[in-house]
Structure 1
Amino acid sequence: MRVSVQEAPFDYGAECGAFAARQAGQGAVVTFAGIVRDTPEGDLEAMEIEHYPGMTEKAIAGIAAEARDRWALGDVAVIHRHGRMAPGEVIMMVATAAPHRADAFAAAEFLMDYLKSRAPFWKREITARGAGWVEAREADEAALDRW
């Protein structure tokens, strides 16, 4: 299991390839990349993400361990960036490996829903109109109900 909370950009393709290469004996690998998206107005200059070092990694590792307990996973990787990012930059990735695809997909979705709604990150959008904290979305909270 790998959990990394980092400021530096990462190569999503290289990370996925390296993860998959380590999965001898598994039958499925699922990966997901989250990308900084522009505002509906098209004026996002940057997204700034803050976190508490130590606490954030521990929280993500805990939910990754829960995923491993709930599904037959061979491996899990979560990378999440913090700091200032521009639209189009990869902000995070989740990778799961399992003997069968159903477990790999379910665990990946579980992790993505958790990261979106419960991981201790604070996001601030900086636009041409000013800056403001991103509020939790009802749809993201509702997604947790299925777990």
Structure 2
Amino acid sequence: MTDLVARITAEPIRPGELDSVVLSPANGAIVGFQGIVRDHDGGRGVSLLEYQAHPDAERFLLDCCRTVSDRTGLPVAAIHRVGSLVVGDLALLAVVAAPHRAEAFAACADLVELIKTDVPIWKRQHFADGVSEWVGL
């Protein structure tokens, strides 16, 4: 298994950029999750999201990857973006590889849920009507 990759970045995330981290001849499936900024939330138009991270957020992200990898024995990797993101931007990329698809899907879902609950990253939504609000505080 390769080293775990967990990164917080202000740079754009490219789909597929983590595939080579988890890929190995033993794995027949790579499952990835792409969290993309959408244009609405709760019936309101969204124009922009701002993500801010605690200075230790990358350590928390690494802990999430390690937890899922230790529990499943599978290679996992994740990148979360911070800063101002517009509709269509990729905010979170999480990938897991496994010999078979079912275990890869389950581990990837577990990884994303763990990231959402455990990594101290905060989101501020800017709505089309000019109002903004913090989410999940």
Q: TM-score, normalised by structure 2?
A: 0.86
RMSD over aligned Cα atoms:
1.7
Matched ranges for 1:119-134 at <5 A: 119-127=119-127, 128-134=129-135
- Aligned pairs (5 A) from 1:16-95: 17-19=19-21, 22-39=23-40, 40-42=43-45, 44-53=46-55, 55-73=56-74, 75-95=75-95
More helix per residue: 1
Q: Distance in 1 between matches of 2:19 and 2:7?
A: 17
The structural deviation recorded for 1:12 is 0.8
Q: 2:13 aligns with which of 4, 7, 10?
A: 10
> CA shift at 1:41, angstroms?
2.2
- Offset, 1:16: 5.1
C-alpha separation between the residues in 1 aligned to 2:18 and 2:111?
16
Q: Which runs of 5+ in 2 are unaligned?
A: none
Higher fraction of strand: 2
Cα separation, 1, equivalents of 2:7 and 2:68:
17
Instruction: Give, as a single letter, the amino acid of the residue that structure 2 aligns with 1:18.
Output: S
* 1:40-67 per-position Cα deviation (integer Å, ceiling 9, x unaligned): 222x2210000123x1111111111111
Answer yes or no: is 1:110 the counterpart of 2:110: yes
What is the number of equivalent residue pairs in this alignment? 131
Q: Distance in 1 between the 2:51 and 2:11 partners?
A: 12
Q: Write the distance in 1 (CA, Å) between the matches of 2:123 and 2:7.
A: 18
Q: Displacement, 1:121?
A: 0.5
Question: Normalised by the size of structure 1, how large is the TM-score?
Answer: 0.80
Distance in 2 (CA, whole Å) between partners of 1:105 and 1:62 is: 20
Q: CA deviation at 1:11?
A: 1.5
